Amino acid sequence: MNRTDRLYALVEELRAVAPRPRSARWLAEKFEVSSRTIERDLSALQHSGVPIWAEPGRTGGYCLDPAHTLAPLGFTVDEALAVMISLGTLVTSPFRDAAMSALHKVVAVTDGRRLSETAELASRIHLLGEHRSNEAPQELADALRTGQVLQIVYIDRNGIATSRSVEPMGFVGKGSDWYLIAWCRLRDSLRAFRGDRITEAKSLGERPPRRPLRVEDLGIVQGKLRMVGPGEKSS
């Protein structure tokens, strides 16, 4: 069993017996790994937002907090697989941490039989990407939510770095690349900044009125833009 499958299985095991605890030793024997490995796995799940807590004492162990545990979700296998694939495509996006946290939470409340079948199918699906890192600073996702101005250092296609103050307006994803769409105060116009070329980003704490973002203003000449979420449209 690989680590990803074990993380899913750990959550399901704790969910099945909640609020009763399972010791690290008991879990280690079940999954045929060391107690230290189990403790690292549980720590990773906790940091991703899964509501696991430790109960001290000789009969204690790790519990999935029943006060924060939903009933099993009624996803079909196809629906659960679609969610897993969708969240997996965000691994190079500014929303990667939130996507992985959301995935762990979905796993925590998904029916065990469906989850097992979904995990097996997901193991047969792979995403083809480039060798270069496409990860963008986490501050980009935070800025879109808060509406705060960012001070960024951007490397253009010629390798020249510039410092700019920008007002985040949205994102455009293309393959494994993600572009921050923002009003650039240096150029006094709308600009698209490729995420992996933004080497630094920090909030200035300023929250100006949010500018409208119209598809026609983006000047896309190749391909079609598609909105995400309910009622998505193409243009």
Domain boundary pick from 82, 100, 125 = 125
Q: Is residue 225 part of a domain?
A: no
CB–CB of 98/141 below 8 Å? yes
Same domain assignment for residues 179 and 203? yes
pLDDT mean over 215-234: 71
Confidence of residue 33 (pLDDT cuts 50, 70, 90): very high
According to the model, what pLDDT value does residue 138 have?
77
Instruction: Report the distance separating Cα 181 and Cα 220, nearest Å.
Output: 12
**Residue 234 clears pLDDT 50, i.e. is over it:** no
Q: Is residue 33 part of a domain?
A: yes
Q: Is residue 222 part of a domain?
A: no
Same domain assignment for residues 149 and 115? no
What burial class does residue 93 get, using C-beta atoms within 10 Å of its C-beta: 0-12 exposed, 13-18 middle, 19+ buried? buried
According to the model, what pLDDT value does residue 132 have?
59
pLDDT in tens, 100-121: 878 877 776 677 777 888 888 9
For residues 155 and 15, which has the higher predicted lDDT (pLDDT)?
Answer: 155
According to the model, what pLDDT value does residue 76 have?
81
pLDDT in tens, 118-153: 888 988 998 887 765 556 777 888 888 899 999 999
Instruction: Report the distance separating Cα 41 and Cα 35, nearest Å.
Output: 10
Please state, rounded to an integer, the average pLDDT across all residues of the chain. Answer: 84
Q: Is residue 87 part of a domain?
A: yes
Best CA proximity match to 33, nearest among 64, 67, 70, 2: 2
Identity of the amino acid at 123: S
Instruction: Report the distance separating Cα 234 and Cα 111, nearest Å.
Output: 34
Domain containing 83 equals: 1-125
Instruction: Report the distance separating Cα 63 and Cα 45, nearest Å.
Output: 12
Token pair for residue 111? 């029916």
According to the model, what pLDDT value does residue 101 have?
78
Same domain assignment for residues 20 and 46? yes
Domain boundary pick from 125, 147, 171 = 125
User: What count of other Cβ atoms lies within 10 Å of the Cβ of residue 10?
Assistant: 25
**Strand spans (E) along 124-176:** 150-155, 161-174
Same domain assignment for residues 109 and 150? no
Q: Is residue 62 part of a domain?
A: yes
Same domain assignment for residues 108 and 189? no
According to the model, what pLDDT value does residue 109 have?
66
pLDDT in tens, 41-91: 999 888 877 889 888 877 789 998 766 555 555 678 888 889 889 988 888
- Which distant-in-sequence residues (6+ apart) come within 8 Å of 215 by Cβ? 225, 235
